[in-house]
Each structure stands twice: as C-alpha cells, then as structure tokens.
Amino acid sequence: MAPAGRSGLGDEPGRAVAGTLMYALIHLAIGALTGALVTSPVNGTVPVLFVWILAVFFGPVMGAADRPATRVLPTHFVTLWMVDLPSQHSGRVGDLGWAPIWVAAALITAHPR
C-alpha cells in the first residue's frame, strides 16, 4: 500500500482501473492472437512474455517516453495516460484517445474470423 500512497495513483482510482482494464484487454488480445497462430502452449508463451517484457522494461515509464521506437509498443499510450505523463507526440487525439484505439486494434486483430 505504501507505493500506492507515494505514487499518487490512489488519487485517481478511476484512471488506475481504466488503465488496468486497457492493459488486460491488449494483452488478452495478444494472447488470443498468439494462441491462434502457435499450436504448442509452451511455444505460445514465449511471444506473449516477450511483448510484455518489451512493454514493461523498455516502455515509456522507464525513461523512454520520447523515443520514437517505444511508440509501437502496444501499451505505450495507456502507460503514459495512466501515470499522467503527456507524450507530446500524440497530436489532437491525445494519449487517452490513442489508448482505446490500440485496445480496439488489438481486439479486432485477435478476433476469430
């Protein structure tokens, strides 16, 4: 509980809940897409973990908010919006606008046809 108190995330629980839900949907879609393409559960775990590791360890909160390469990470705009760190590169749509676009794109891509 102490990290939540010091970070200020507890000040806006709606932002935390919405951001967590967007994260979950994006990674659920990545898992579904991987599951549809990879037949072995063990081999399917590797790409899911790889995407998660890239997003967490090389994402915008770890000091790479202004690097163009991090913009292609699936949770880039969700992370920036969650921690209230304006990206300065999201245009008129804004970080909160791009976050649901990424969620929708992930879900559409993972949807079975």
Q: pLDDT digits over 41-78, tens only?
A: 888 888 889 888 888 887 777 766 677 777 778 888 88
Q: How many CB atoms lie within 10 A of CB 1?
A: 6
- Does the pLDDT value for residue 20 go beyond 80? yes
Q: Identity (one letter) of the amino acid at 67?
A: R
CB 110 within 8 A of CB 33: yes
Residue 76: inside a domain: yes
Residue 94: inside a domain: yes
pLDDT for 21 equals: 92
Minimal CA–CA distance to 31: which of 13, 45, 42?
Answer: 45
- Does the pLDDT value for residue 19 go beyond 60? yes
Residue 8: inside a domain: no
Residue 4: inside a domain: no
Residue 93: inside a domain: yes
If one compares 4 and 112, the residue with the highest pLDDT of the two is 112
Which stretch of 6-10, 22-26, 75-79 has the lowest confidence by average pLDDT? Answer: 6-10
Q: What angle do CA 95, 97, 100 make, to 5 degrees?
A: 105
Structural domain including 90 reads 30-110
Count how many domains the chain has: 1
Residue 13: inside a domain: no
Computed over every residue of the chain, the mean pLDDT equals: 79
